[in-house]
A and B are shown apart, each in its own frame.
Chain A
């Protein structure tokens, strides 16, 4: 029977249910995890013997750039990123190419081989939402969703400046439905709008051009809107001054802006009972913390600023970070933060692309190569690891490379060896420029993460942070039948055998999605179509009508017509709406 499976005798790591390496059977029926299979169900089930193997929930990546206009521009401007990385088609799989920015098919296959079943695209410019959905629907296997870039949106800035938080919320709700987006992304708040005039902002309290709004007001306003609607995930923040020496201070202060915002999820979903509360607790989720944790005051005295961020995160309960690590080697940096990329272009002279997204945001793309011999790059490598190792509570951290900014997601297994093995870190430190040792605290860190913690950083916590732990990131009854089996025996696991650890995490023994085997030992077995998650958010009808009048009035500034703005339903092959702030419960009018 398809979608019905019994995974026997594996060592199970399921952090949301506090299962830490117990030998346990996992049952899946009709694509969902069940407590038990009996009689006919068990007779029809496919049995997988996971004896001596590690069993985890399917991986969840809460921050990756895998679909949309800037990702595709990254592909187009880099033929050199493709011609040496070519994959032939097979009877089952599509051909493809690419190293740092693979084609959509290869992305789906490579994530699945690594044991990931769910990936979120971390930045959708609203005007490019159609393109993003086209790529998400063409990505095989993975369940996906994306965050809408709103931190420099004219309507948001106008409403927040006027103090009209309800209209801002109505706008966000309408935009989520219109573009089938999942959460709110805020990139260099107030700064990208200034970039349209060749400028930026460099502090939290600097009013920007025309709108006169500050970064502090945008962050607080969007965080408030987020909780007013009760969105699944919190605000995903890319703080100001990214990539500048000393930026850790503004990053810490930006996180503090959302401290007083009360977390309120208001999703119409069925919550499964897990030992640890599956609802998010954070009001701000810091993106690619590494790029925002630079110390020093210039490139001469550049150093890790991780300590300042880590100290803040350790004493705060309203923050989750993903690290955005640098695993060395080629990368393509791409972000909505146009001025940050221009700054990198001036430093490197590498190939650069820039785009202004009209009333909404901007973006920049640059080719990059992180070198161990480069002092700054080697410190960046150290920062990425410090951020994971020094934050005491693993439920506040998520492992990413901010693919493909720090490096491609296919380097996650390499990253895992560094956080699991001090010896692996020391071996790489010895190959790095001495700044990595001298200007970070990495060399003095003894912590070695366990498989349980790896399961938190790569599935349980990303799922909880983006509000999808009601169905993903754990193996309790009712959850999606997404399971990864790694060929590691935890009782004989040697963290210092890096090649084996890398190989094991690169090619899961089994990746199971909705109860079907999608990958086995590095080979794709089946290619189901994934879902697209989006937030079907609602706000008071009356306010929405007023808000839409404003939108239509300013649509004269857009280069496209209002009727062509929304993403039609047909762009989603397998839509999975999450109803947020159900109409009856609209806050206003209560």
Chain B
């Protein structure tokens, strides 16, 4: 696999929109061609080399291309937007919209990610080792169609509206989430190892949501459906004792959403 190394070469003032940092776009390009790719900064269009020193060259196909961003880029948005194949590793924190609308391949963020990570994702894997912002795997504003495939792993915490409108795929959060995780989800799986504040699964009509920690305030439209030990979630068994809820009855009369909340917390 050919590697392209992007080394941030200074601090960034206005955020940069860099959906060109994508193996599909870099594939088949030489170092100097990559340097000349255009990114937006505010109203200006500038070459990628304005913000990154580029080393190496891309493979002939996206699948054969790995992009390594050496360092923190919290002010660079849309990295890996819509990518179909290949690999991106960010050795630091990423800005907003990392992996949004991604279809395939993998992204590893060795740090934190901004809001909208994996927005409307369709496939591939997005792994964030730190914390993530709001709207991870969520539908865009106004839309009710969130991620429908692929996998998002967050080792740390995520903020609000995680997996909003989700209709497929999986999200695993090692830490805690804040408000309205899984709002309007109709399919797919969300597992939160830590706690949630409130609104978990609000308006959900399908799918499965597991919270291993504590839910501070359960949505009122869920009905208790018994206690289960070590429930099986797809292939995996989640250990512990869980209270099972069905919902959300606040909107639908026949919702198929299932929420497991830890019985011990």
Contact = CB atoms under 8 A, between A and B. Distances in A.
A346 to B, nearest CB: 13
Contacts of B142: 77-81, 351
Nearest to A349: B251
A77 B142 CA distance: 7
B141 to A, nearest CB: 5
Contacts of A83: 140
A83 B19 CA distance: 14
Interface string B54-96: 0000000000000000000000000000000000000000000
Contacts of A80: 139-143
A349 B203 CA distance: 12
Interface magnitude class on chain B? under 10
A261 B38 CA distance: 64
A351 B143 CA distance: 9
A83 B141 CA distance: 9
Contacts of B141: 79-80
Label chain A's interface by main secondary structure: loop
A173 to B, nearest CB: 42
Most B CB atoms within 10 A — which of A78, A80, A83?
A80
Contacts of B139: 80
Contacts of A77: 142
Contacts of B251: 349
Nearest to B139: A80
Interface string B131-159: 00000000111110000000000000000
A349 B251 CA distance: 9
Nearest to B251: A349
A50 B30 CA distance: 45
Interface residues of A, number: 8
Nearest to A82: B142
A351 B141 CA distance: 12
Interface string B232-265: 0000000000000000000100000000000000
B58 to A, nearest CB: 26
A5 to B, nearest CB: 37
Contacts of A78: 142
A432 to B, nearest CB: 22
A79 B120 CA distance: 14
Interface in A323-356: 349, 351
B153 to A, nearest CB: 26
Interface string A341-378: 00000000101000000000000000000000000000
Contacts of A351: 142
Nearest to A351: B142
A77 B144 CA distance: 13
A69 B139 CA distance: 27
Nearest to B145: A80
A79 B140 CA distance: 8
A80 B139 CA distance: 9
A46 to B, nearest CB: 35
A98 to B, nearest CB: 12
A251 to B, nearest CB: 33
Interface in A417-455: none
B252 to A, nearest CB: 9
Interface string B208-252: 000000000000000000000000000000000000000000010
A349 B186 CA distance: 14
Nearest to A79: B142
Nearest to B205: A349
A78 B144 CA distance: 11
Interface in A41-99: 77-81, 83
B42 to A, nearest CB: 14
B91 to A, nearest CB: 30
Nearest to B143: A80
Nearest to A350: B144
A329 B143 CA distance: 15
A77 B141 CA distance: 10
Interface string B105-125: 000000000000000000000
Contacts of B143: 79-80
A163 B139 CA distance: 55
Contacts of B140: 79-80, 83
Contacts of A349: 251
A81 B251 CA distance: 24
A81 B142 CA distance: 8
B234 to A, nearest CB: 27
Interface in A16-37: none
Interface in A79-124: 79-81, 83
Contacts of A81: 142
A83 B142 CA distance: 10
A83 B143 CA distance: 11
Contacts of A79: 140-143
B172 to A, nearest CB: 27
B64 to A, nearest CB: 28
A484 B109 CA distance: 54
A349 B139 CA distance: 17
A79 B139 CA distance: 11
A347 B141 CA distance: 23
Q: Which of B140, B141, B143 has the most CB of A within 10 A?
A: B143
A77 B251 CA distance: 20
A370 to B, nearest CB: 16
A72 to B, nearest CB: 15
A351 B165 CA distance: 14
Nearest to A77: B142
A78 B143 CA distance: 8
A347 to B, nearest CB: 14
Nearest to A367: B142
A88 B182 CA distance: 34
B261 to A, nearest CB: 26
B170 to A, nearest CB: 23
A81 to B, nearest CB: 7
A79 B143 CA distance: 8
Nearest to A80: B143
Nearest to B252: A349
A79 B141 CA distance: 6
A351 B139 CA distance: 14
A80 B144 CA distance: 9
B134 to A, nearest CB: 16
A82 to B, nearest CB: 8
A6 B251 CA distance: 63
Interface in A132-163: none
A324 to B, nearest CB: 25
A392 to B, nearest CB: 43
A162 to B, nearest CB: 46
Nearest to A76: B142
A83 B139 CA distance: 12
A80 B142 CA distance: 5
B161 to A, nearest CB: 15
B105 to A, nearest CB: 21
5 contacts: A77-B142, A79-B141, A79-B143, A80-B139, A351-B142
Interface of A: 77-81, 83, 349, 351
9 nearest interchain CB pairs? Answer: A80-B143, A79-B142, A80-B142, A79-B141, A78-B142, A80-B140, A83-B140, A79-B140, A77-B142
Given A77-B142, A80-B142, A83-B140, 12 more contacts: A78-B142, A79-B140, A79-B141, A79-B142, A79-B143, A80-B139, A80-B140, A80-B141, A80-B143, A81-B142, A349-B251, A351-B142
